[in-house]
Amino acid sequence: MIEIILKRHLKGQSGLFELDIDMQLKKGGFYALMGESGVGKTSVLKIIAGLMKAGSGKITYEQEVWFDSDNSIFVKPQKRSVGFVFQDYALFPNMSVIQNLYFAIGKVSEKKEIDEILELMNLGDLVKSKPQELSGGQQQRVALARVILRKPDIVLLDEPLAALDQKLREKLQKDLQSLHHKYGFTALMVTHDELEATRLADEVFIMELGKVIRKGTPKNVLNTLLDLNSIEAEILDVDFESNELTATNHRGIFKVNLSESQLKNIKVGQMIKLNSKDWKINE
């Protein structure tokens, strides 16, 4: 169990507000942290990692205390078993893929583990490449592999897939699922994508101005957030074999299963309106 209790004053777009968090993460679980920009999501990750100090509170992993303001305990970031995956990859540009991975574990004796994760992440043909020679998706796979090789107790992910196109994003989501299932780490991921949260997370925390206002399974939490009588979105893709439509709006990307009659005459790029019983194309 990871227990996170913290408070800190933050400055957002609307002025000062207080970060006031009380979260419990079960070991091996996958959690999504969602909410509008500027409500403190990334600050929560940074405080857990030790990259930012809370004003008060306590962070514990099992019986290990990483932060306790009452007892003046603050464990340095490098002493916490935390992996941090950033949106901008944060790879060493002067190192090849294999050098970036070896740097993560600090010893050559783990070649078997590196070979295993290279195969899992489909990076075997790129081991001698430098980051600038890789695509965004390849760089993010290297970044994920490097973090996982350190075998952290918790992996923090700050919108790591947000800059990728949709097809690549879905591929990386599957890779992330595979890594989580194989290595069993605890994960806390900041995302704005409701479909991504639904695919990956066991539980979702919804934040609003520094506080968690709702939590639960993705199905329960996100269904209550979506007003199905007022969804307007752009069609991204239509799979006529599975009768599945992919659409997007400001809330993220989501998929809807429709009947064959409902799918007639719709095209990619059109705007649609959806409700719980029916839908119509917005010309």
Between CA 199 and CA 263 the distance in angstroms is 24
Mean pLDDT computed over 59-68: 95
Distance of CA 245 to the CA centre of its chain: 23
What CA dihedral angle connects 128, 134, 137 and 139, to 10 degrees? Answer: 60
The predicted structure's pLDDT at residue 40 = 94
Domains and CATH numbers, the chain: 2-225 (3.40.50.300), 231-282 (2.40.50)
3-state secondary structure of 36: coil
Would the pLDDT of 58 be above 90?
Answer: yes
DSSP string, 45-112: HHHHHTSS--SEEEEEETTEEEEEGGGTEE--GGGS-EEEE-TT----TTS-HHHHHHHHH--GGGHH
Mean pLDDT computed over 173-179: 89
> Which amino acid, one-letter code, is at 208?
E
The predicted structure's pLDDT at residue 205 = 96
Would the pLDDT of 158 be above 70?
Answer: yes
**Which residue carries 């979260």 as its tokens?**
23
Would the pLDDT of 145 be above 70?
Answer: yes
207 neighbors 18 (Cβ within 8 angstroms):
no
Would the pLDDT of 134 be above 70?
Answer: yes
Between CA 267 and CA 97 the distance in angstroms is 41
Q: What long-range pairs does 39-43 form, CB within 8 A, spacing at least 24?
A: 39/12, 39/207, 39/208, 39/209, 39/210, 40/10, 40/12, 40/207, 40/209, 40/210, 41/190, 41/207, 42/158, 42/190, 43/8, 43/10, 43/19
The predicted structure's pLDDT at residue 65 = 97
Between CA 103 and CA 206 the distance in angstroms is 35
Q: Which residues, 6+ apart, have CB-to-CB distance to 69 below 8 Å?
A: 54, 55, 56, 57, 58
Would the pLDDT of 186 be above 50?
Answer: yes
Angle, in degrees to the nearest 10, between helices 136-149 and 111-120: 140
DSSP state of 237: E
Label residue 8 by pLDDT band (50, 70, 90): very high
Inter-CA distances, 5 with 8, 21, 48, 81, 186, Å: 11, 6, 10, 18, 17
The predicted structure's pLDDT at residue 93 = 92
* Full strand arrangement of the beta sheet holding 154-158: 82-85, 154-158, 186-190, 30-34, 203-208, 211-216
Mean pLDDT computed over 121-141: 91
User: By mean pLDDT, which of 139-148, 157-166, 229-238 is the weakest?
Assistant: 229-238
283 neighbors 273 (Cβ within 8 angstroms):
no
> In the predicted model, what is the mean pLDDT of the chain?
86
The predicted structure's pLDDT at residue 26 = 96
Radius of gyration for the alpha carbons in the chain, expressed in angstroms and rounded: 21
The predicted structure's pLDDT at residue 228 = 46
